[in-house]
Amino acid sequence: MSIWPIELEIAWRYTSARRKAGKNKETGSKDGFLSFISSVSMLGIALGVAALIVVLSVMNGFQKEVRDRMLSVLSHVEVHSPSGLGDWQPLIAKVEQNSHVKGSAPMIMSQALITRGDVMRGVALRGIDPEFEGNVSDIPKHFIQGKVAGLKPGEFGLALGAELAGILGVQLGDRITIMVPEGDINPAGVTPRMRAFKLIGIIDSGHYEFDSTLAVVHWRDAAALLRLDGPSGLRLKLDDMQVAAQVADELSLKLPGLWVKDWTRQNKNWFAAVQTEKRMMFIILTLIIAVAAFNLVSTLVMTVTDKQGDIAILRTMGASAGMIQRIFFAQGFMIGALGTLGGIALGLLISLNIDVIVPVIEAIFRVQFLPRDIYFISRLPSDVRSGDVLTVGLMAFGLSLLATLYPSWRAAKIQPAHALRYE
């Protein structure tokens, strides 16, 4: 006696039937064909689920990787003053009263031109305090040549991003001229303000945009160049980056006259674009699963048409219309469940090993999917999230169940006398 309900037993036979050698080769051939198209439907669902999981995991990984690299150079929250901060130590004590603030450091931010020979580049000039910078960013850890301690006030030392240093063709100890927008007025007119700096370090953050535009000096040297009495703002590090917007709002109320912004607002357009792309990719790839579900409809309709004789015999033996409907619903349930579980397993296998798979593909076909000079990162990351996997699995399984409703209803409506007329 089978431990399965009779509906599941019959549904499994219809799903897994294979052509067997015997007297009735025609029936065996039909059963084998039905099994084949059932397998194709199952494979279609599995591939759709796997593709959606892989794409979502890669987009999550891309967003996380870029965000982490951004925040290794940027800060969670920045406090600015248009005219500069004169006495900034009391302000640090004031902002650190917030329980989420775990570190702070003075800074100066400005745009500048950097020249070396015939090469001239626009840069983001950043004045930092080497003693406190490690409290708010990973810049001290990103020095691949020299050390952040080499930025000493009055010595006009300079650290450049690795890409920028390569473009300028400079090495440690070279002299580089920095010009700032503010100029000096003299009898000849307005002349640009400039100063020669000595290269004491090279920074490699792994983020092409920063490494190709970042120039770091001591904030006191930047203040001397820009004619400021003190730093132009403070950089803050929080215990949780996700509360940055909340902390920024609290500090804005507590510090009137100062401009407070958090990392989500600094890169709002980029993160909004990534979220939009993720939603669109979810919708587009969901259509793949929907196509596989419609294929399941055709599979079950063909099975119902081929098994009309079996249905009629079951009805004459006392099977109810509900039982017939449950048989084909169970068949669609099995195909949908096996396809969804197989797709989840395949998607997780690829997503968790994408750092191995992609380099192999790149080596075989001699291509590079993420060139450093175009994208923020040069490798394909992956971040598998259980919520995404659960959503994709439930959606695929739900579409599969939805696809079984019409074929199972059609099977229940078959009249035994009409089906057996030509048997």
Of 217-226, 272-281, 371-380, 387-396, the one with minimum mean pLDDT is 371-380
User: What was the pLDDT predicted at 141?
Assistant: 92
Work out the pLDDT band at 20, boundaries 50, 70, 90: very low
Can you give the pLDDT at residue 37?
82
Can you give the pLDDT at residue 27? 52
406 and 345 fall within a common domain: yes
Report the share of the chain in percent with pLDDT over 90.
36
Three-class HEC string of 16-55: HCCCCCCCCHHHHHHHHHHHHHHHHHHHHHHHHHHHHHHH
If you average pLDDT over residues 302-309, what whole number do you get?
A: 85
Q: Is residue 72 part of a domain?
A: no
Burial of 86 (0-12, 13-18, 19+ CB in 10 A): exposed
- Indicate whether 25 pLDDT > 60: no
The arithmetic mean of pLDDT across residues 383-393, rounded, is 93
Residue 175 has what pLDDT?
94
Q: Is the pLDDT of residue 186 over 70?
A: no
Clarify whether residues 179 and 206 are in a common domain.
yes
Domain count, the chain: 2
In a domain, 138, yes or no: yes
Provide mean pLDDT across the span 23-27.
Answer: 49
Instruction: Determine the pLDDT at residue 190.
Output: 63
Per-residue model confidence (pLDDT) at position 23: 44
For the ranges 180-189, 230-239, 388-397, the lowest mean pLDDT is seen at 180-189
- Whether the pLDDT of residue 367 is over 60: the answer is yes
In a domain, 109, yes or no: yes
Domain boundary among 197, 229, 257: 257
Report the chain's mean pLDDT, rounded to a whole number: 85
Structure tokens at 398: 């739900």
> Pick from 202, 230, 257: which residue ends a domain?
257
Residues 62, 100, single domain; the answer is no
Are 248 and 294 in a shared domain? no
Q: How far apart are the C-alpha atoms of 84 and 219, rounded to whole Å?
A: 12
For residue 154, give the nearest of 115, 198, 191 by alpha carbon. 198
Examine the pLDDT at 369 and tell me if it is beyond 80: no
Model pLDDT, residue 423? 58
CB 196 within 8 A of CB 176: yes
Q: Is residue 342 part of a domain?
A: yes
202 and 315 co-located in one domain: no
Give the 3-state secondary structure of residue 15. Answer: helix
148-169 pLDDT tens trace: 999 999 999 999 999 999 999 9
Last residue of a domain, one of 257, 282, 304: 257
Same domain, yes or no: 153 and 250: yes
List, for residues 193-215, the tens digit of each pLDDT value: 889 999 999 999 878 888 899 99
Is residue 189 located within the same domain as residue 280?
no
Q: What is the mean pLDDT of residues 328-334?
A: 90
Q: Are residues 30 and 95 in the same domain?
A: no
Do 214 and 320 belong together in one domain? no
- Between CA 403 and CA 335 the distance in angstroms is 11
Considering the domain architecture, whether residues 141 and 203 belong to the same structural domain is answered as: yes
CA–CA separation, 195 and 203 (whole Å): 21
pLDDT, position 399: 92
pLDDT of 336 > 70? The answer is yes
Other beta carbons within 10 angstroms of residue 376's beta carbon come to: 18
Say whether pLDDT at 22 is over 50. no
Question: Is residue 339 assigned to a domain?
Answer: yes
**Does residue 417 have a pLDDT over 80?**
no
Range of the domain at 197: 82-257
Asked if residue 59 belongs to a domain, the reply is: yes
Give 146's pLDDT tier (boundaries 50, 70, 90): very high
The confidence score (pLDDT) of residue 376 equals 60
What is the pairing mode between strands 175-186 and 101-116? antiparallel
pLDDT tens column, 90-104: 888 888 888 899 989
Does residue 299 register a pLDDT over 60?
Answer: yes
pLDDT at 377: 65
Taking the C-alpha atoms of residue 88 and residue 236, their distance in angstroms, rounded to an integer, is: 13
Tell me the CA distances in angstroms from 109 to 96, 155, 190, 212, one per residue in order.
21, 19, 23, 16
Quick one: 239 and 152 in the same domain?
A: yes
- Which residue type is seen at 290? A
Residue 294 has pLDDT above 90, yes or no: no
Question: Which pLDDT score is estimated for 298?
Answer: 86
367: which DSSP letter? Answer: -
Query: Looking at residue 1, what is its pLDDT?
Result: 42
Q: Collect all residues with Cβ–Cβ distance below 8 Å to 416 and sequence separation of at least 6.
A: 311, 312, 313, 315, 316
Same domain for 237 and 363, yes or no, is no
Q: Is 315 a member of any domain? A: yes
Q: Is residue 293 part of a domain?
A: yes
Q: What is the pLDDT of residue 392?
A: 93
Between 273 and 56, residue with greater pLDDT: 56
Does 27 or 207 have the greater pLDDT score?
207
The pLDDT tens digits for 101-136 are 998 999 998 899 999 888 889 999 999 999 989 889
Kindly report the pTM of this predicted structure: 0.73
Token digits for 168? 């300028």
